[in-house]
Chains A and B, each alone.
Chain A
Amino acid sequence: EAQVTQNPRYLITVTGKKLTVTCSQNMNHEYMSWYRQDPGLGLRQIYYSMNVEVTDKGDVPEGYKVSRKEKRNFPLILESPSPNQTSLYFCASSSKGLAGSYEQYFGPGTRLTVT
């Protein structure tokens, strides 16, 4: 089954304790992205990757790191989490469709709480 998986689905942690949220896709997609979703703000992009070893900042990259060592995996790293990073996080992947149209496939989300 074609899918994007994220782990963990729920995480409660304390300020300053490094954490990693994993993301994996089995569709051989070039593009992967991380979003955070907050009430009233919609989906805001954190980082994205066009392919292996190619990453770039999105709209809200501060406090986050990513890496893309393999095509299927795109982990999100919070080196020193703070309460303002409490949010719902989504990983997505995509492949270029016909004539510039494409579909992003989203993971199930990770609910992060930083106390």
Chain B
Amino acid sequence: GENVEQHPSTLSVQEGDSAVIKCTYSDSASNYFPWYKQELGKGPQLIIDIRSNVGEKKDQRIAVTLNKTAKHFSLHITETQPEDSAVYFCAASRWDSNYQLIWGAGTKLIIKP
């Protein structure tokens, strides 16, 4: 079955710098890749997603890139701010999976002032 690996487990960056979190997946039939942000004491919340017919998607300071050949996708956060500190999860899903998401283990992002 599908397996999603996420790296790094912890990432510390200076405020204003960029942060990149990477995920690899094993099932070439996966076609939907969301990213969720979990703030302290809250449930995860979708921040951006990408489908397999698109190579890149951007929403203000957040972007996601997808390399289908290599089976990896990445989250890019530019001009990081203190409110970006959180745990980020990647996930993957295939078209016939009936809502099922396979989750990465999460990355704790720390923004240093």
Residues of A within 8 A of B (CB): 4, 31, 33, 40-45, 48, 50, 90, 92, 94, 96, 99-104, 106-109
Contacts and interface: CB of A to CB of B under 8 A. Distances in A.
12 contacts: A42-B106, A43-B44, A43-B89, A43-B106, A48-B99, A96-B99, A103-B46, A103-B49, A104-B99, A106-B45, A107-B43, A109-B43
B12 interface: no
Nearest to A111: B41
If over half of A's interface residues share one DSSP class (helix, strand or loop), that class is named, otherwise mixed; here it is strand
Given A42-B103, A42-B104, A100 B31 contact: yes
A42 B89 contact: yes
Contact of B42 (A43, A104, A108): A108
Contact of A92 (B6, B43, B49): B43
Contacts of B106: 42-43
A42 B105 contact: yes
Give 8 closest A-B pairs by Cβ, nearest first. A106-B43, A42-B105, A31-B99, A43-B103, A103-B46, A100-B95, A42-B106, A42-B103
A104 B46 contact: yes
Nearest to A29: B99
A101 B9 CA distance: 26
B98 interface: yes
Contacts of A48: 99-100
A100 B46 CA distance: 15
Nearest to A93: B99
Q: Looking at A43, A92, A99, which has the most chain B CB atoms within 10 Å of its CB?
A: A43
A63 to B, nearest CB: 20
Nearest to A107: B43
B42 A109 contact: yes
Contacts of B9: 40
